[in-house]
Structure 1
């Protein structure tokens, strides 16, 4: 039985460990921060499995590889397959048409919006991506963690030893000591409780200043996200970002004006210059990194690529052959 050491217990590390275990490998995981929690950038994700929507400003690989994620996650955690609704106010309909030109896999909706989301009565036109899905990132991380424990994976709450055979480095931005072309892209989000709002699926509002996405989390709670800032400061949310998130949510449904703010989240997403993930091998270590804003969407494909390379020496499109 081949043995591997995975370094990092975020979504990338847990997905890689899950894939290796599924192929009959023995795995141990090192993360000094411990099990998944608020210390990791994966904790603050939206959890949208939305490859068709993401294609609006992403490469074709995100659309194609992201479609694998829905079934992969559905076999491991609870996934809601209610699709994604994209709307815009009347004055912003040119943005909706531009979004439509850059994406695929949707149907145009008008009066049907009221059937899909009765609380969005202010919107008369939208795009419905019926094949998309979403999950609760925190539940998904916990489910992967518990499943790995049940299959004999040992989690070490320590730094990984300096020399490890068959190591898979999934440390995210902490891996810049080995991957100098990584950069941090700051994301800011809010979790709110809004008892007077009902949404059945993720909704994206194309807003003139800040296009926002709202993801239902159950129990009257919603995750509001949108911002991406080229910044290494992960410790605070700016006042402007918070105001813009809340004002965009208010534009979606005025009842958000009475929402209770439960959490404020800030993270740094690891990204390479082209915003696509990379698998790199140097000596006995494989590096899997650069998921950018597509952590849950592309982690399954990244994990598959790592396992193919580690076990069969099979190269995938994510493998960077020029890295040394």
Structure 2
């Protein structure tokens, strides 16, 4: 949001909590996968998701545009067929054609050549550095400071922390692991379909992989549970036996903010514009919704108090 506003020559101040562990984005997968995500969401996210890939590539040069791969065990080939029917932008091919290390493990895969991925933590550092170069003030604090600081506009992007202001915002806990496994070489995100434990593995470079992520209908900010850790590790091993020798670098969890339809929304309450409800689509849909919010700020779009967009 700050990057879009600063790009339009607005004077911006970012007030946020300093601790990265308070941010859902700190634990995100960073997959820019509009076609894959449309399998379980509205197809309306595909077009803004495609735009997001270009947006992130402009602002974060390390954005990797290698596509993504979807596989399923032989006994779960029905899951792969169903995924293919619910999505577009893919071709069916042998998994080893795209990821040679999967040779002999998965006979067929769906390859989404147009998708991309990034490291969320590195991406946010890049955005912050870009803002600082433009003279944007970034400071630690709470939203109450903005309420009394004389700003013309206040945009609340706090995720689940804004739940007291948004009664229909719920929390969905996600849990993830960071593994170091130099013996595994994957160039792109790989999704393993499973009727009970869907999994994705996202390469972060240097032999590090993010493995995620659970979807638990709870706003309980507990640490990763033993059950989830075992399931994620078992699924990673099912994808590639090399993960049996992986070093666990981190186990983390946080709360995704979600509205009832699992899609983001803009809502105005007085002088505060809420941008929230990103669910699992934060990196995919945030550029689109930031542009819409900027249009409201600059008077190019109008909203009534309490209206959702």
TM-score range, shorter chain: over 0.9
Aligned-pair distance for 1:282?
2.2
CA–CA distance in 2 between the matches of 1:118 and 1:247? Answer: 21
CA–CA distance in 1 between the matches of 2:46 and 2:284? Answer: 9
Q: Does 1:97 align with 2:81?
A: yes
Aligned-pair distance for 1:176?
1.6
Instruction: Give 1:233-248 correspondences, 5 Å limit.
Output: 233-248=220-235
Q: Does 1:287 align with 2:274?
A: yes
Instruction: Give 1:70-81 correspondences, 5 Å limit.
Output: 70-77=53-60, 78-81=62-65
**Matched residue, 2:6:** 21
Runs of 4+ in structure 1 displaced over 4 angstroms? none
**Matched residue, 2:127:** 144
List alignment gaps of at least 5 residues for structure 2.
none
List alignment gaps of at least 5 residues for structure 1.
1-15
Mapped contact 1:278–1:320 kept (Cα < 8 A): no
Aligned-pair distance for 1:87?
0.7
**Matched residue, 1:9:** none
What's the RMSD between the two structures over aligned residues? 1.6
TM-score (norm. length: structure 2) = 0.94
**Matched residue, 1:119:** 101
Instruction: Give 1:1-324 correspondences, 5 Å limit.
Output: 16-31=1-16, 33-34=17-18, 37-77=20-60, 78-110=62-94, 113-121=95-103, 122-159=105-142, 160-163=145-148, 164-314=151-301, 322=307
CA–CA distance in 1 between the matches of 2:38 and 2:263? Answer: 13
Mapped contact 1:165–1:285 kept (Cα < 8 A): no
Aligned-pair distance for 1:312?
2.4
Give the length in aligned residue pairs.
302
Report the 3-state secondary structure (helix = DSSP H, G, I; strand = E; otherwise coil) of the residue aligned with 1:67: helix
Aligned-pair distance for 1:258?
1.1
Instruction: Output one character per residue of 1:120-143: Cα deviation in whole Å (capped at 9) or x when no partner.
Output: 121110100000000010110000
Deviates more, 1:307-316 or 1:141-150: 307-316
Mapped contact 2:147–2:154 kept (Cα < 8 A): no
CA–CA distance in 1 between the matches of 2:255 and 2:128? Answer: 22
